[in-house]
């Protein structure tokens, strides 16, 4: 019998449990305010020093962030963390994202560099390193990339050999473009262990043979140090090995999965800041005798900027909720002492690798929204936006990197489709829970009172269902036509990834709006407007690639329409302008 599987079942979360920025307590407000005050009072006033490479200022800010608990927000208390909930850590990550290069540095330190030790370290490694990393006393780096191994990162040449007699490993090689290298006290290094394959090590900065190259002359994020790491016959004790021999690739990729989601939060922080800066400027700048904020084209820009931020933020918070069970399972497994090291790495990595497609799509969506928003913010500034005296000019330079690192957006698009196809083969997705989403039998709109919001949600849900059905048909046809080679058909993969990303984005926005209907904040006040623009955007950016993919594999799809959004964008702009003083 022919197997028909809904490859979009990943969407079927119980939407009433979805994580959204609105569903928060006073404690969440408090930790967000702590982060906001740190950003506003401590980091941004020191941006010039940070940008000029003042390492003392950078280190002092790490210690301050550590004192405030902003590095280890969700880290267990016994390692110096605050052990707060998921929403708290999202709010903090996003807020720290407002600090540009400093935000990149601390994002990498508290994510991709700290997570290998938390999830794959043994108790001795965890208790030795994590408290110092959480306190900001020691800064960490993640060293994977090499000159000839960028996207193809698992094929680096850095080597490790076991010296049986001296009970140590000897590491040699060069890692390239390592964030924090100049200030790091510890590096998580990936090397090819003779006869075993890629293996991870925790390498202290003060080991003989460790050195750091000159600071790179980058286009942006100057507040985030970047340099190469040189390992010249560096001897590390057997206790520096992380996880299990030959399992470094699992560690590298599973923490990268989390890092991609965390990078989305950083990008959202930059996006939010750019919207505020652009709106404030639009109100202040006068041309033709009036503020430029009164011009329809400027207002429409602000409308799109805020609407896309809303959508990308909805997706990122929702994914965090979907990731949470896997992260919890990973931590439980990490603390077990009855598992063999190999089995432990395998199972922890597998738990962390739930929601690969969702993590990758958030990285792509948030960084591309960031690029769009900052570009438009420069445009709103006119020529002044091109002058380095204006913060938005720096943000424009800073923004370029997020589409390149943590897996380029091309590599992440491949990851989205690979994960969807393999979930399809497994007939289940790690992210799926119940079937009560717009893609399932229940309707978000049905629970709402009659009115504009309900009507918009009904229309959007109808289109979303049609998109999902169409997507499923196209994937089915593509798999039938290409088989396993589908992932090598990159133009098709790109279109499928974009269609999937915008469906997920639309659904996330609709869920957030529906959940906020009787709550507080912008998702309630402008729910119908955000839903309408999210719907139009999903059609604009998701349906076109879907139709192109359908045509390519010989499938015909109809019934995909979207609303007039011109009025909605003006209403959103009105809100943004009203909020910014
Ligand atoms: C400022 C900065 C900080 C960084 N920090 C770190 C760090 O802390 N630790 C670390 O380990 N690394 C770090 N990196 C490295 C970063 O992760 C890599 O730059 C990135 O993975 C891309 O590799 P690459 O630059 O060699 O590009 P390449 O892999 O050479 O890619 C070039 C182009 O080809 C495309 N491409 C490559 N392969 C494929 C494919 N299979 N299909 C389709 N397109 C493809 C890419 O998308 C890209 O557009 C950093 C880089 C920079 C610039």
Cα distance between residue 21 and residue 311, in whole Å: 12
134 and 30, same domain (yes or no): yes
66 and 122, same domain (yes or no): yes
| CA atoms 488, 546, 423, 6: torsion sign | negative
Number of domains in the chain: 2
121 and 44, same domain (yes or no): yes
For ligand 1, say whether the CB of 364 is within 6 Å of any of its atoms. no
Check residue 438 and give its pLDDT: 38
The answer as to whether 132 is a domain residue is yes
The answer as to whether 543 is a domain residue is no
97 and 180, same domain (yes or no): no
The answer as to whether 220 is a domain residue is yes
Chain segment 547-567, per-residue pLDDT in tens = 888 888 888 887 665 566 667
Given a cut of 90, is residue 318 above it in pLDDT? yes
Check residue 566 and give its pLDDT: 67
Check residue 10 and give its pLDDT: 37
135 and 149, same domain (yes or no): no
Structure tokens given for 257: 């999965």
Given a cut of 80, is residue 518 above it in pLDDT? no
> What's the CATH number where 128 sits?
1.10.540.10
For ligand 1, say whether the CB of 190 is within 6 Å of any of its atoms. no
Q: Tell me the residue range of the domain where 201 lies.
A: 141-246
ipTM field: 0.99
The answer as to whether 56 is a domain residue is yes
Hey, which of 53, 405, 489 would you mutate to test ligand 1's pocket, going by the most ligand atoms within 8 Å of its Cβ? Answer: 405
The answer as to whether 117 is a domain residue is yes
Cα 68 to middle of ligand 1, angstroms: 33
Cα distance between residue 74 and residue 93, in whole Å: 11
152 and 239, same domain (yes or no): yes
Which among 139, 167, 199 is the end of a domain?
139
Active site residue 406: yes
54 and 64, same domain (yes or no): yes
Check residue 580 and give its pLDDT: 86
Chain segment 15-42, per-residue pLDDT in tens = 677 888 888 889 999 999 999 999 999 9
Q: Give residues with Cβ within 8 angstroms of 578, minimum separation 6.
A: none
> What's the CATH number where 184 sits?
2.40.110.10
Catalytic pick among 10, 406, 489, 529: 406
For ligand 1, say whether the CB of 408 is within 6 Å of any of its atoms. yes
38 and 113, same domain (yes or no): yes
56 and 90, same domain (yes or no): yes
Query: How much of the chain, in percent, has pLDDT values that exceed 90?
Result: 80
| Helix (H/G/I), strand (E/B), else coil: 112 | helix
Which among 229, 246, 263 is the end of a domain?
246
Chain segment 355-399, per-residue pLDDT in tens = 999 999 999 999 999 999 999 999 999 999 999 999 999 999 999
For residues 546 and 557, the answer to whether their CB atoms sit within 8 Å is yes
Check residue 426 and give its pLDDT: 65
Q: Which of 282-286, 456-460, 492-496, 558-562 has the lowest mean pLDDT?
A: 558-562
The answer as to whether 72 is a domain residue is yes
127 and 207, same domain (yes or no): no
The answer as to whether 109 is a domain residue is yes
For ligand 1, say whether the CB of 294 is within 6 Å of any of its atoms. no
Which among 84, 116, 139 is the end of a domain?
139
Cα 158 to middle of ligand 1, angstroms: 17
The answer as to whether 270 is a domain residue is no
Residues in the chain: 581
Which ligand 1 atom is nearest residue 408's CA?
47
């Amino acid at each position: 019998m022919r197997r028909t599987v809904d490859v979009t079942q990943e969407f079927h979360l119980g939407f009433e449990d979805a994580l959204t920025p609105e569903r928060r307590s006073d404690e969440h407000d408090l930790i967000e305010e702590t982060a906001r005050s740190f950003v506003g009072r401590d980091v941004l006033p020191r941006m010039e020093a940070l940008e000029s490479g003042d390492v003392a200022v950078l280190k002092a800010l790490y210690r301050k962030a550590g004192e405030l608990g902003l590095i280890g927000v969700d880290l267990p208390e016994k390692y110096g963390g605050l052990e707060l909930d998921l929403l708290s850590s999202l709010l903090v990550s996003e807020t720290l994202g407002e600090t540009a290069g400093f935000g990149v540095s601390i994002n990498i330190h508290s994510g991709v560099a700290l997570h290998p030790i938390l999830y794959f370290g043994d108790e001795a490694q965890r208790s030795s390193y994590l408290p110092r990393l959480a306190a900001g006393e020691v800064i960490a780096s993640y060293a994977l990339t090499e000159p000839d191994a960028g996207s193809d990162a698992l094929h680096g040449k850095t080597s490790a050999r076991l010296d049986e007699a001296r009970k140590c490993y000897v590491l040699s090689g060069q890692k390239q473009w390592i964030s924090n290298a100049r200030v790091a006290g510890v590096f998580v290094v990936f090397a090819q262990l003779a006869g075993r394959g890629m293996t991870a090590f925790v390498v202290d900065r003060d080991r003989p043979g460790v050195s750091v190259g000159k600071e790179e002359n980058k286009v942006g994020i100057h507040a985030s140090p970047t340099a190469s790491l040189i390992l010249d016959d560096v001897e590390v004790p057997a206790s520096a090995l992380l996880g299990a021999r030959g399992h470094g690739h699992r560690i590298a990729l599973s923490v990268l999965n989390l890092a991609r989601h965390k990078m989305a939060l950083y990008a959202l922080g930059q996006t939010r800041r750019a919207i505020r800066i652009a709106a404030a400027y639009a109100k202040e700048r006068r041309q033709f005798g009036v503020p430029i904020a009164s011009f329809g084209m400027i207002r429409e820009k602000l409308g799109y900027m805020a609407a896309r931020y809303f959508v990308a933020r909805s997706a990122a918070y929702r994914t965090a909720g979907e990731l949470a069970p896997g992260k919890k399972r990973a931590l439980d497994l990490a603390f077990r002492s009855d598992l063999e090291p190999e089995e432990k790495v395998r199972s922890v990595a597998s738990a962390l690798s739930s929601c690969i497609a969702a993590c990758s799509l958030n990285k792509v969506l948030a960084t591309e929204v960031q690029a769009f928003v900052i570009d438009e913010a420069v445009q709103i500034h006119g020529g002044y936006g091109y002058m380095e005296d204006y913060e938005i000019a720096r943000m424009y330079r800073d923004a370029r990197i997020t589409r390149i690192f943590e897996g380029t957006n091309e590599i992440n698009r491949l990851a989205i489709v690979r994960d969807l196809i393999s979930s399809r083969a497994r007939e289940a997705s790690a992210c799926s829970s119940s079937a009560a989403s717009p893609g399932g039998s229940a309707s978000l709109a049905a629970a709402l009172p009659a009115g504009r919001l309900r009507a918009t949600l009904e229309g959007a849900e109808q289109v979303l269902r049609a998109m999902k059905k169409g997507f499923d048909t196209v994937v089915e046809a593509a798999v039938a036509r290409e088989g396993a080679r589908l992932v090598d058909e990159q133009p098709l993969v790109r279109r499928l990834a974009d269609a999937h990303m915008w469906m997920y984005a639309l659904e996330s926005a609709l869920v957030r709006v529906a959940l906020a209907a009787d709550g507080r904040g912008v998702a309630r006040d402008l729910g119908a407007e955000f839903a309408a623009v999210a719907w139009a955007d999903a059609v604009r950016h998701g349906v076109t690639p879907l139709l192109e993919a359908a045509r390519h594999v010989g499938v015909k799809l109809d019934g995909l329409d979207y609303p007039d959004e011109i009025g909605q964008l003006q209403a959103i702009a009105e809100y943004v302008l009203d909020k910014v003083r």
